[in-house]
Structure 1
Amino acid sequence: MSDAVRETLDRYYAALKAGDREALRGVVSDDTEVHYPAPEGLLPWAGDWTGFEGFEAFIAAVGDHLVIDTVEPLAVHVAGDTVITVLRGEWTVKATARKVRTETVNMFTLRDGRIVRYQVYSDTAALAVGLGRLAA
């Protein structure tokens, strides 16, 4: 992975963890797109979000429902302007206090050191069970 790609991801994850809006604005493009696929109505943060305001609304929707307990990077793959990260994490669902453990794939498209597209592929069923929307 190039130093520029690593720096972009490091800045992104540090800003996200700190909740630093200005730092996020510096690494997430104003016209960014977020894509989080899931069956309709299953996860409150699923769907497509556009622009920096959409990105912030997506992050807020996740934060309204989940607490990030741990995230462990398992792999990073870079192909041109696309970066794929594989993560293992544990989240606590705020409404139910249930713990959810799952692996998640984040796919970033970068342009000029900024994120222009962010796609998340996760175990939507495990998250829905944690939210109490599916039976275990």
Structure 2
Amino acid sequence: MNTEQNKQLVLEGYRKFQSGDIAGLLERFRDDAVWTSPDSEFIPFAGHFHGKQGIAQFFAKLNANVQATSFSVKELIAEGDKVVAIGDSSWHGHLTGRDYDLPWVHVFTLRDGMVERVDAYYDTAPPTAALQALRSAEADRPDLRQ
């Protein structure tokens, strides 16, 4: 695929995410894909997720804990098998009711027209502050960390 096709694949994935079509989004990932983000004991959807099932678990944890109130891709940069997406988002924590803003960068590695790897970069302080009550609530809601 050329760089323009790679950018379109990534944009289509974001559209699927924004419409809640996680199954459709996962169709764009290789079976052995990897999703990484900064580790944090306070963010249930942080860390490393392997394979489509692991990435589905990431989205399940994300949706169980927060809801995007805005999510926008500001810029896409593509070269070879890499697409870098730069964006802004705002989130609402379900458990705490707290909102936070979060700029982000996603680096996609593509192979044979599918996503092989996503490296997500963001400041963990805003979601940690918004979700800090999570630890005390885990006893009541074990599904938040599983």
Q: Same fold (TM over 0.5)?
A: yes
Task: Kindly report the root-mean-square deviation, in angstroms, between the aligned alpha carbons of the 2 structures.
Answer: 1.9
Which moves more between the two structures, 53-62 or 16-25?
16-25
For the residues of structure 2 that align with 1:73 and 1:55, how far apart are their CA atoms?
20
Structure 2 contact 7–78 (Cα < 8 Å) conserved: no
> Partner letter of residue 15 of structure 1?
K
Structure 2 contact 22–59 (Cα < 8 Å) conserved: no
2:101 partner SS: strand
For the residues of structure 2 that align with 1:64 and 1:7, how far apart are their CA atoms?
28
In the alignment, structure 1 segments of 5+ residues that lack a partner are none
TM-score computed with the length of structure 2 as normaliser: 0.82
1:78 counterpart = 2:78: yes
Runs of 4+ with >3 A deviation: none
In the alignment, structure 2 segments of 5+ residues that lack a partner are 134-146
Q: Which residue of 1 aligns with 2:8?
A: 7
Structure 2 contact 33–117 (Cα < 8 Å) conserved: yes
Q: How does 1:1-136 map to 2 (within 5 A)?
A: 2-39=3-40, 41-132=41-132
2:27 partner SS: helix
Q: CA 1:26–1:65 in structure 2 vs 1: closer, same or farther (change >3 Å)?
A: same
2:15 partner SS: helix
For the residues of structure 2 that align with 1:74 and 1:81, how far apart are their CA atoms?
20
For the residues of structure 1 that align with 2:39 and 2:79, how far apart are their CA atoms?
25
> Partner letter of residue 58 of structure 1?
F
For the residues of structure 2 that align with 1:95 and 1:79, how far apart are their CA atoms?
40
1:74 partner SS: strand
Q: CA deviation at 1:23?
A: 2.1
Q: CA deviation at 1:95?
A: 0.7
Q: CA 1:99–1:32 in structure 2 vs 1: closer, same or farther (change >3 Å)?
A: same
TM-score computed with the length of structure 1 as normaliser: 0.88
For the residues of structure 2 that align with 1:21 and 1:45, how far apart are their CA atoms?
15
For the residues of structure 1 that align with 2:26 and 2:92, how far apart are their CA atoms?
27
Structure 1 contact 11–27 (Cα < 8 Å) conserved: no
| 1:100-119 deviation per Cα after TM superposition (whole angstroms, max 9, x unaligned) | 01201111111111111011
> Partner letter of residue 132 of structure 2?
G
2:116 partner SS: strand
What is the percentage of aligned positions where both structures have the same residue?
Answer: 25
Q: CA deviation at 1:89?
A: 0.9
